[in-house]
Structure 1
Amino acid sequence: MRTALVIGTGLMGTSAALALVSRGVEVYLEDHDPSVARTAAALGAGSALPPEGQVDLVVVAVPPAHVAATLADAQRRGLARGYLDVASVKAGPRRDLQALGCDLSRYIGTHPMAGRERSGPLAGTADLFEGRPWVLTPTRETETEVLNLALELVALCRAVPVVMDADEHDRAVALVSHTPQLVSSMVAARLQHAEDTAVRLCGQGIRDVTRIAGSEPGMWMDILAANPGPVADVLAEVATDLTGAVEALRGLQSADGEKRRTGAAGIEDILLRGNAGRDRVPGKHGTAPKAYEVVAVLIGDQPGELARIFADAGAAGVNIEDVRIEHSTGQQAGRVQLMVEPAAAPGLTTALRDRGWSIRS
């Protein structure tokens, strides 16, 4: 691939363009708002001028509802040898393309499983896709040349290709992406009118659950409107669990011993199934998650503290597998949880104490 045209210069399009430019591809940028394309160009994502001739690949990075019309227009203009989109749903846009009479042999639907809570070209980064799954949904009509161009794009962005059927993909993202967004927003919505005394008690748990609730509503309206059926199916199952949890908790309130036992069993079942599901979420390097030991360290809110603790862990010969920061409300301090191999925890604890760090249990 020597040349590419990215249509749509928001987070995904700008990030793909930045990655391609860094790998030596000549990239052109187009957006329905020319000023946004110029912003992406100013960031080094390519040229906001139109290409002089046909490019190798057109990357359509627009909301799902606009994919078909944008691709159809690009094909009518004969802009490229191959065309793909990076929208978060796949089956609907393909049906729309068929209805518009597009050449599906020159097109492949794709979806990089990466993103941020921020949107727009200023949120773009060349390493957004590194190590992340990038779904490809070829059909029997897809020409080999187009599939190879898509695979080259994935490789240049240093992502990991995953081949799936379009409908299977949409059901999968409903479960692992779209429903979690809605559930996170629902939990966060409970805080909107909560008493200040309750909100002041917020800790790391509520921050973890509501992190993605800060995402751009307009972007998620586009996504959910394009995949409503599969998301509704998953939410219906969640609603069944919620109803069961309510009934179990009411049972725990009862003076009847049998109802309390039944309620306790119901809550325990949900918690155990949650453990089992969480254990299936891929961990480091895409493998099954490992049980790490946590070394908790009190850390001040001042420049250089994180760098110092990582340097001290490195000097002790310990690899930090993961890290989490728990902020202390109203205080200039927090707790850093360093996840390490169990055998390394005692040595790290001793080394950090010797270097003056306050270890917390």
Structure 2
Amino acid sequence: MNTVKIVGTGLLGTSIGLRLRTRGVRVLLADASPTMAALARDMGAGEPDDGSACDLIVVAVPPDVAGQVIAAELRRDPGATVTDVASIKGLLLQQVRGLATKAELDRYIGSHPMAGREKSGAVAARHDLFIGRPWVVCSDEDTPPGRLRQVLALIETMGATPVHLEPDFHDAAVARVSHAPQVIASLMAAQLVDAPPEGVGLAGQGLRDVTRIAASEPGLWARILSGNAAEVRRVLLGVRDGLDRVIDALDTGEGAGADAGAGVDAGAGSRTLKPGAVAELAGVIAAGNEGYDRIPGKHGQAQRRFEPVTVLVDDSPGSLGRLFAAIGEIGVNIEDVRIEHAAGQPLGIVEVFVEPRVAHELAEALRRRGWRVPVERLTEENT
């Protein structure tokens, strides 16, 4: 790749440009908004498009206009390979087939990097955004090998891992792992709009984990969901079935309630659940455990359970650095980390996740070094 053109200078397009520039590739930037193209240029992602012939063109525009842009780029530069980074592939391929000739289609290979941020636009771009992330490639047996090598070279340059999938399989998969989760996170966050501030102030890490992506850009996600409507709807119907079962199980009825043998305390002022309800609720959580265990863990390996060691850290410059340095000196590898903020106190509650066999040893070693490590953390999980 000597010259790459990027059409669309949002988060993904600008991030690709930044990475290519670190590898010495000439990058041309084009955008329907001259201001957005200038911003990406000023960030170092490339130079304005001057009409030069390109080896590869990357279309990084919203999915509802990607088909037309891809077809236009195929016509504009008859020697270039064209790929895109849209999060829908099946409908997009149909659109390009309807707009391009057979010869032009031979130069188009759809792709989709499974990377992003809850922030959008060029200002959120990062040159390392794709490192270690899957990057779907939708080639087939008719794809010219030389064209495919160019797209794979782009993915390798990004530090990502290519995954070859059929377009329809891709769309069904991302509906489960990306598109439906966005809807669910947004719906949950929307429940906070009219909630009393005193109640929202009780929020813990559980709520933050569930709603993190709810800060995503509405216009872009409306386009994504519209483009993959059938698959997202199928997933949400399954979620709705599960919600209906939970809602039914939580129904305490209008009268005296069911037999306390259902396993719920029938103390003063309480109502009991119907028989079988507790088992239904436990089953939902257990099914969630099973599904969670299928999510790839560290380095794409099978999900593993790590033990958290909780440390109270002053909310001041250098505190985290000193903690991590101490753990390194003790000789324990940190597998993951989570940070909460203590309500009303200048403290950070840091959970470092380590191998279970070294958790107790790490806790004791940190205590000996003067770190505040609670013997047992007796707080609600807020889930």
Bucket of the pairwise TM-score, normalised by the shorter protein: over 0.9
Cα distance in 1 for residues equivalent to 2:48 and 2:325: 43
Partner of 2:327: 313
Give TM-score scaled by structure 1 length: 0.97
What's the counterpart of residue 208 of structure 1?
Answer: 209
The one-letter code sitting in structure 1 at the alignment partner of 2:257 is: S
Asked if the contact 2:258/2:275 (under 8 Å) is kept, the reply is no
Matching of residue 20 in structure 1 with residue 26 in structure 2: no
Paired residue type of 2:97:
Q
Give the equivalent residue in structure 1 for 2:379.
none
Where structure 1 has 5 or more consecutive residues not aligned to the other structure, the ranges are none
Task: Please say if residues 138 and 147 of structure 1, whose CA atoms lie closer than 8 Å, have aligned partners that are also in contact.
Answer: yes
Secondary structure class of the residue paired with 2:119? coil
Amino acid at match of 1:223: I
Give the conservation status (yes or no) of the 8 Å contact 1:204–1:327.
no
The offset of 1:341, in angstroms, is 0.8
The offset of 1:104, in angstroms, is 1.3
State the match for 2:105 in structure 1. Answer: 104
1:278 corresponds to: 292
Map of 1:127 onto structure 2: 128
Aligned to 1:254: 257
CA distance in 2, matches of 1:149, 1:261: 61
- Which structure has the larger Rg? 2
- Of residues 12-21 and 260-269 in structure 1, the stretch that sits farther from structure 2 once superposed is 260-269
* Greater shift in the superposed pair: 351-360 or 253-262: 253-262
- 1:242 maps to 243
In structure 2, what is the equivalent of residue 334 of structure 1?
348
| Deviations 1:57-98, CA, capped at 9 Å, x for gaps | 000000111111111111121164200000000011110111
Provide the TM-score with structure 2 as the length reference: 0.91
Equivalent residue letter for 1:351: A
Identity %: 46
Contact 1:325-1:334 within 8 A present in 2 as well: yes
Count, aligned residues: 360
Query: Which sits farther off after the overlay, 248-257 or 65-74?
Result: 248-257
Counterparts of 1:247 and 1:156, CA distance in 2: 51
Greater shift, 19-28 or 259-268, is seen at: 259-268
1:188 is matched with 189
Work out the CA distance in 2 between the residues paired with 1:161 and 1:140.
Answer: 17
| Counterpart position of 1:58 | 57
Q: Is the 8 A contact 1:5 1:28 kept in 2?
A: yes
* 1:224-249 per-position Cα deviation (integer Å, ceiling 9, x unaligned): 11111100000000000000001111
Structure 1 runs (4+) greater than 6 angstroms displaced: none
AA matched with 2:91 = G
Instruction: Call closer, same or farther: CA 1:261–1:121 in 2, change over 3 Å.
Output: same
Equivalent in the alignment of 2:178:
177
Q: Which amino acid aligns with 2:38?
A: R
Given that 1:104 and 1:141 are in contact with CA atoms closer than 8 Å, whether structure 2 keeps it comes out as no
How far did 1:261 drift?
3.3
- Contact residue 104 and residue 142 of structure 1 kept, 8 A: no
1:347 to partner: Cα distance: 2.2
Mapping for residues 132-143 of structure 1, pairs under 5 Å: 132-143=133-144
Which range moved further: 187-196 or 255-264?
255-264
For residue 318 of structure 1, give the secondary structure of its aligned residue in structure 2: coil
Who is 2:6 aligned against? 6
Paired position in structure 2 for 1:71: 70
Tell me the distance in 1 between the aligned counterparts of 2:49 and 2:219.
Answer: 28
8 Å contact 1:251–1:263 — kept in the other structure?
no
Deviation at 1:251, TM superposition (A): 5.3
What residue number does 1:291 align with?
305
Counterpart of 2:88 in 1: which secondary structure?
coil
Question: Per-residue CA shift, 1:110-144, capped at 9, x if unaligned?
Answer: 00000001111111111000000000011233221
Residue 81 of structure 1 corresponds to which residue in structure 2?
80
Spell out, residue by residue over 1:241-289, the C-alpha distance to the aligned partner (whole angstroms, 9 max, x if none): 0000011111599333466331011101101100000011111010111
Alpha carbons 2:5, 2:49 under 8 Å: kept: no
- Are the counterparts in 2 of residues 297 and 359 from structure 1 also a CA contact under 8 Å? yes
Asked if the contact 2:74–2:80 (Cα under 8 Å) also holds between the matched residues in 1, the reply is: no
